[in-house]
Amino acid sequence: MCGICGQFNFERFDPVLLRDIQTMAHSIVHRGPDDEGYYIKGPIGLGFRRLSIIDIEGGHQPMSDADGSVRVVFNGEIYNFPELRLELESFGHILRTRCDTEVIVLGYKQWGDEVFNRLNGMFGLAIWDERKQRLVIARDAFGIKPIYYKIEDGKVSFGSEIRAILAATNESPEPDPSALNLFLRYRFTPSPYTVFKGIRKLAAGTMLVFEEGRSSVRRWYRYRPEPFSPAMSEAQAQEELLEIYKRAVRRHLLSDVPVGLLLSGGVDSALLLALMNLYGNSWHTFTVGYGEVFADDELTDAAKTAAVFASNHTEVLLDHRTFEQSLPRVVEFMEEPVATSSVLPMFFVCERARRDVKVALIGQGPDELFGGYRRHLGTRYGQLWGGLPTWVRGPVAYLVEALPRNETLKRGVRSLDTPDRLRRYQQVLSLLPGDQIDGLFKSDLLPPSAGDEILTSWEEFSDLMDRNTDELGGLQFIELRSTLPDELLMYGDKLSMAHSLEVRVPYLDKEIVEYGERLPASFKVRNGRGKWVHKEVCRAFLPAAILRRKKRGFAANVVDEWFRVARSKKMEEILLDRQSHIFDYLQPAAVRELLDRHRSGESDHHKILFSLVVLEEWLRASFVPVS
């Protein structure tokens, strides 16, 4: 796990300066405190900061082949690199290290850009082809590792974090109102956009190529899930998925340094711990919570799981004051605003874990892959809505809209009458209807249809979805390539690397995802419950008490309670202070109305209200004036 950066003058081929690349690399030293490296030659400059995990002595970067014709800087882990080593050796390549980076170098020489489809892992990387004067920048299939870039005046600057690009350009960043609109819709900024004008991030499974004085973005990961035959039995699916899980966990434990687990109170991380015990014991586990303050706290459940599987368990305790005081710092580390209350727990559990381990596994992925969210229930059974007569649907929709709070249900019902598949998904995933988000902004600040840019980037997914992909599978296809990488995985990367901790996501192993995407909806959501086949696999390893636990998002009630009962005044003050930076863009009266409706209990707006607070903290941290 590392940080990469670089520049390429791809039009005029002016020389890159070493001091500029060093400045970029030093800005992300927290991503790689163990080593640094540079390659500067004419118009190309590559920089690298290393967090040593595998082949500690031999993994220095930038790494090249024997004749120096290909050079690579790479952030991430390639879990199938031992198999790729053997394959490359069969072609006559001689490998000089035990490092996974070398299989990328020689894999590019052997297969060209097709090498990316052979990699099972997480990566943000750059490949310099000296002979062709060609630069390729790529992000892994599911976007576990981020990579940003800015193209201006025939030069590209890129890096694992935005701060590397800002260090290179030495310019004051400027917010993009259209991207702020997207952030308020989704709680994150979808790729390829960022909240900064001119700075983009590669979408999951895409690459940015510079050759012959031109640039182009291409999708290298074009997996098209073909549904399994209806003849597949439930027992067969459970057996096959369990074996795939075992292989994935074993791959993700490969390390030359200590490995731990970020343990929640749920079944997903509990299964990881059970599977980890097949390949070792006495693992370090870490859980964070608020003690007995909130009913949805996970400390007790996680402690019981740790006891069952005999891990060396550590708890991290937070409180209201820590949450409020630390939010500005955490937002600054994320670089882009992400408005979920779990960012604070993530930051502090990673900080504590780094004292004992250098690598930690985490249980993200099954919810998106196997239908673990409430929106998946609505998507699964929503087709029944279309079979109801209009005279039934109309009154039911009216009654739903009249319900106090229940915003998720309202969004789902509104979407059911939308014929366009992608727009229907957009409505399901948005916090509020698009026109309501647009109405928060000052007049003439947004271009027409400011919030619909993301539909353009989703359109290519329509071509990749098999015509037989069911409604639930289609939504999950989008989530795994857009919402998951740009929200949960993005802040997971930034907040773990803030403490020089590598976080691995076994459930997003390529073999698991590609298998799961072929399963029908009936194997995911059944009898009104999600993650059916996943939980059937869990039954082989987990006690009934763990399986019966209620699903709960971490600290979800923290923000809701603060805004609704005014336990803390700080967040309210931000939204009511006319001097807050958000009001350079938004209308105070519209924001006040959201707050009033939430406090009265008429609506549940804690998500959009917290998004506004996070946006304000981001604006303060970025010192960004209105253009």
User: Kindly report the CA angle at 391 between 389 and 393, in degrees rounded to 5?
Assistant: 70
pLDDT of residue 229: 82
Is 323 part of a structural domain of the chain? yes
More confident residue, 384 or 64: 64
- The pLDDT mean for the chain works out to 89
158 and 43 in a single domain? The answer is: yes
**pLDDT digit string (tens) for 151-182?**
999 999 999 999 999 998 877 788 999 999 99
Is 417 part of a structural domain of the chain? no
The count of domains in the chain is: 2
What burial class does residue 492 get, using C-beta atoms within 10 Å of its C-beta: 0-12 exposed, 13-18 middle, 19+ buried?
buried
77 and 200 in a single domain? The answer is: yes
Is 328 part of a structural domain of the chain? yes
Is 30 part of a structural domain of the chain? yes
pLDDT of residue 624: 41
* Burial 150-186, CB ≥16 within 10 A → b, else e: bbeeebbbbbbbbbbbbbbbeeebebbbbbbbbbbbb
Strand order in the sheet with 44-50: 35-41, 44-50, 2-9, 155-159, 148-152, 200-201
108 and 210 in a single domain? The answer is: yes
E strands in 67-223: 70-78, 121-129, 134-139, 148-152, 155-159, 200-201, 206-211, 214-219
Both tokens of residue 475? 């939504």
User: Kindly report the CA angle at 426 between 424 and 428, in degrees rounded to 5?
Assistant: 75
Domain boundary among 515, 532, 547: 547
Asked whether residue 619 carries a pLDDT value surpassing 60, the answer given is yes
CA–centroid distance for 192 within its chain = 13
Residue 626 — very low, low, confident or very high, per pLDDT cuts 50/70/90? very low
Is 569 part of a structural domain of the chain? no
CA distances to 272, 571, 595, 610, 616 from 328, in Å: 32, 12, 21, 13, 9
Rounded Cα distance, 362 and 286, in Å: 10
238 and 215 in a single domain? The answer is: no
Is 410 part of a structural domain of the chain? no
Residue 623 — very low, low, confident or very high, per pLDDT cuts 50/70/90? low
63 and 142 in a single domain? The answer is: yes
132 and 95 in a single domain? The answer is: yes
The stretch 349-354 carries a mean pLDDT of 96
Domain boundary among 219, 242, 260: 219
Strand order in the sheet with 259-262: 312-317, 284-289, 259-262, 359-361, 502-504
Three-class DSSP category at 624: coil
Domain holding 538: CATH number? 3.40.50.620
Domain boundary among 497, 516, 547: 547
More confident residue, 293 or 487: 487
Residue type, 174: E
Domain holding 64: CATH number? 3.60.20.10
**pLDDT digit string (tens) for 521-533?**
999 999 989 999 9
Say how many C-beta atoms besides its own lie within 10 A of residue 60's C-beta: 16
Give the sign of the dihedral formed by CA 468, CA 471, CA 473, CA 479. positive
206 and 281 in a single domain? The answer is: no
7 and 106 in a single domain? The answer is: yes
37 and 148 in a single domain? The answer is: yes
**pLDDT digit string (tens) for 573-594?**
888 888 999 999 999 999 999 9
The domain of 119 spans 2-219
